[in-house]
Amino acid sequence: MIYFDYAATTPVDKRVIKSMMPFLNEKFGNPSSMHSFSSETKKVLEKSRVIIAKAINASSNEIIFTGSATESNNMALKGVAFAKKRGHILVSSIEHDCVLNTAKWLGENGFEIDFLPVDKYGIVDPKEVEKRIKKDTILVSVMHVNNEIGTIQPIETIGKICKKNNIYFHSDAAQSFGKIPIDVTNIDLLTLSSQKIYGPKGAAALFVKDGVKIEPLLHGGGQERGLRSSTENTPAIVGFAKATEICLSTMEKEQKRLTKLRDKIIATLIKEVPNCYLNGHQTKRVSNNVNVRFSSIEGEAILFMLNSYGIAVSTASACSSPKLEPSHVLSSMGLKQEEAHGSIRISMGRWTKESEVNYLLKILPEVVKKLRDISPHK
Whether 319 sits among the annotated catalytic residues: the reply is yes
CA 289/CA 285 separation, integer angstroms: 7
CA 330 from centre of chain? 17
Secondary structure E strands in 234-286: 276-278
> 211-217, long-range: CB within 8 Å, 24+ apart, which pairs?
212/80, 212/168, 212/188, 213/80, 213/83, 214/75, 214/76, 214/79, 214/80, 214/82, 214/83, 214/189, 215/78, 215/79, 215/82, 215/83, 216/75, 216/79, 217/71, 217/74, 217/75, 217/78, 217/79
Q: Which residues contact 169 (CB under 8 A, 6 or more apart)?
A: 139, 140, 141, 142, 155, 158, 159, 162, 163, 186, 187, 188, 189
Could you tell me which residues are beta bridge partners of residue 91?
Answer: 115, 141
Query: Rounded to the nearest 10 degrees, what angle do helices 97-107 and 69-84 cross at?
Result: 20
Pick the catalytic residue from 98, 162, 247, 319: 319
Q: Tell me the backbone φ, ψ of residue 3, rounded to 5 degrees.
A: -95, 115
Q: For residue 367, what are the contacts with CB-CB under 8 A and spacing of at least 6?
A: 302, 305, 306, 309
Amino acid symbol at 81: A
- Catalytic residue annotation: 319
